[in-house]
Amino acid sequence: MIQGMIKEGKIVPSEVTVGLLKHAMLESGNYKFLIDGFPRNEENRCAFEKVTKIEPEFILFFECSEEEMERRLLNRNQGRDDDNIDTIKKRFRVFVESSLPVVANYNLKGKVRKINAANPIAMVFDDVKIAFSQFAV
């Protein structure tokens, strides 16, 4: 089910994703987590915060033009079913409609750390390290 939804550029239901995340977090024995690509929409955000009782310390937002992302996805050569122009365009549309409101929500709370992902890899990595160093405990 999850693979089919990803191929269509759709978002996996919150209850499935949050359940998997919560289980992994509890099993890990850790108290700090870096969760890639989540929450993807307001429903995910609300479900995660309600179920886990956790609000993120901050989120990383990798800014990059759609043109550059499209070029990178089409050239990453990983043989993924979702690396085709139709699915990529759907994913961009879903991102703008669903994920940007989550970023806006956290931005209002001062919890967004923006990274210019169009920069060379080494610069992006340095910017990520800086973002994390600001909140190291």
- Using CA atoms, how far apart are residues 97 and 8, in angstroms rounded to an integer? 15
Residues 136 and 73 in one domain: yes
CATH label of the domain that carries residue 95: 3.40.50.300
- Using CA atoms, how far apart are residues 29 and 40, in angstroms rounded to an integer? 25
Residue 3 resides in a domain: no
Give yes or no for residue 62 having a pLDDT over 90: yes
The mean pLDDT value for 5-32 works out to: 86
Residues 48 and 61 in one domain: no
Burial of 28 per CB tally in 10 Å (0-12, 13-18, 19+):
exposed
Total-model pTM: 0.77
pLDDT computed for residue 125 by the predictor: 97
Q: Determine phi and psi for 63, rounding to 5 degrees.
A: -85, 135
Question: Beta partners for 31?
Answer: none
Beta-carbon contacts of 52 under 8 Å, excluding residues fewer than 6 positions away, are 18, 21, 22, 25
The mean pLDDT value for 115-126 works out to: 96
Q: Determine phi and psi for 14, rounding to 5 degrees.
A: -55, -45
Residue 85: give the domain boundaries.
Answer: 56-137
pLDDT computed for residue 68 by the predictor: 92
Looking at the structure of the chain, the number of domains it has is 2
Residues 127 and 73 in one domain: yes
Residues 50 and 82 in one domain: no
Residue 4 resides in a domain: no
Q: Which contacts of 97-100 are long-range, i.e. CB under 8 A and separated by 24 or more positions?
A: 98/11, 98/40, 98/41, 98/42, 99/40, 99/41
Residue 6 resides in a domain: no
Residues 70 and 124 in one domain: yes
pLDDT computed for residue 82 by the predictor: 74
pLDDT computed for residue 135 by the predictor: 67
Least confident stretch, 29-33, 59-63, 115-119: 29-33
For residue range 70-93, what is the model confidence (pLDDT) as tens digits?
Answer: 888 888 867 677 778 888 888 899
pLDDT computed for residue 137 by the predictor: 54
Residues 84 and 23 in one domain: no
Residues 48 and 71 in one domain: no
Residue 68 resides in a domain: yes
Residues 72 and 34 in one domain: no
Residues 39 and 83 in one domain: no
| Per-residue confidence band for 28, with pLDDT thresholds at 50, 70 and 90 | very high
